[in-house]
Every structure is written in structure tokens, then in C-alpha cells.
Amino acid sequence: MSLKKALLHLKTINHHKKLVRQHCFRVGLYRRGLLHDLSKYTPAEFLAGARYFQGDRSPNDAQRQAEGYSAAWLHHKGRNKHHLEYWIDYDPQGSHQLCGMQMPVAYVVEMFCDRMAASKTYRGSAYCDRDPYDYYMRARDHYLLHPTTRALLEAMLTKLKDEGEEAVFSYIRTDILKNAAK
């Protein structure tokens, strides 16, 4: 791992966290914005991220290709409740199949903010409001999501794609989070 790659990786993490924080603050999720992805600074995640840094995609993909799995991703998704993979468990109805558990609304909103920030980070000046939706749709059928969580995430992604940031942030504040608090 080179010092240059480590510094570039740190810059990418900080940029991504800044965007997520801004998005979370815009909808009133101040705590989620401040605590987002703190595990990325741990040695288990940071060192692998620096080693496999490329700048235009997640270093977890490169680690997975090189080593057959991503230890950094396994560490990350097990500590961050805004990832749908955190909520995968065995079916409580006893089928012994893996399925997505219903996520608390604040974590679904944070996941949306995370996806938006990741698209902005990796797409740079080429970013447009449909990018998070398109990224999601490419893998939609592979995600193990609870139906309620899926519907909520897709509603936010669709509103962003069709109406833009101001509209989706207003929708999250006035419809989603306000109703979840009741």
C-alpha cells in the first residue's frame, strides 16, 4: 500500500461522509449524518480500502476480485445498520431461508442518502439524479429486502430520479420521517 493511495482513499472517505452528512442534515437525521460510516476509519476497513483504492469504484470490489471475498466489506456491513445486508437473517416463519428483515425508517433514509452520496462521489461531474436509481435497478433482483423496506427505498429513488433533490428531501422530511415518528 502506498502513502499516495492511502491519502486518496482517506480523501474519498471524507468526501463521501461529508455528502452523506449534508443529505442527512437536510432531512433532519443529524445523529445518523454524524455517525455515518465511522467504521471506515478502522484498520480492518481502512487498510484494505487504501490497498485496493482505484478512485472510481469501491475498493471492496477490487479486494473481492483479488482475494475471493472482501473482509473489509464483511466488517463494514456488520457494523452499519444503514446497509440492507445488516438486516439479512433467517425467515422468522421457520422456512430456514435467508430474507430481508424490515429496516427502521431512519436507516432506510440513511441508506438512500448513502447511495446518493456514493453515486456523486464515484460519478463526479457526470452525476445526475437518476444515477442512484439506475445503480439500484442493475442489482434489484439480487437484493434481499423486506417488501416494506424495498417499497420505501424505491419510492425515494424514483422521486429523486423524476423530481430531483429538493423534492425528494421535502418528501422525506414531510411524509416519510414525520409519519414514522407517529
Distance of alpha carbon 88 from alpha carbon 102, whole angstroms: 9
pLDDT digits (tens, 9 = 90+) for 32-49: 999 999 999 999 999 999
Helices (H) and strands (E) in the chain, counts: 10, 2
Pull the grid cell for residue 77. Answer: 456491513
What pLDDT score does 120 carry?
A: 96
Q: What is the mean predicted confidence (pLDDT) over 123-146?
A: 96
| Cα Rg of the chain, angstroms | 17
* pTM, two decimal places: 0.94
Distance of alpha carbon 69 from alpha carbon 64, whole angstroms: 4
The amino acid sitting at 47 is L
Partnered with residue 100 across adjacent β-strands are 88
- Identify the band that residue 57 occupies on the pLDDT scale cut at 50, 70 and 90: confident
Q: Which of 95, 90, 60 is nearest to 75 (CA)?
A: 60
pLDDT digits (tens, 9 = 90+) for 68-101: 999 999 999 999 999 999 999 999 998 889 999 9
What pLDDT score does 94 carry?
A: 85
- Identify the band that residue 62 occupies on the pLDDT scale cut at 50, 70 and 90: very high
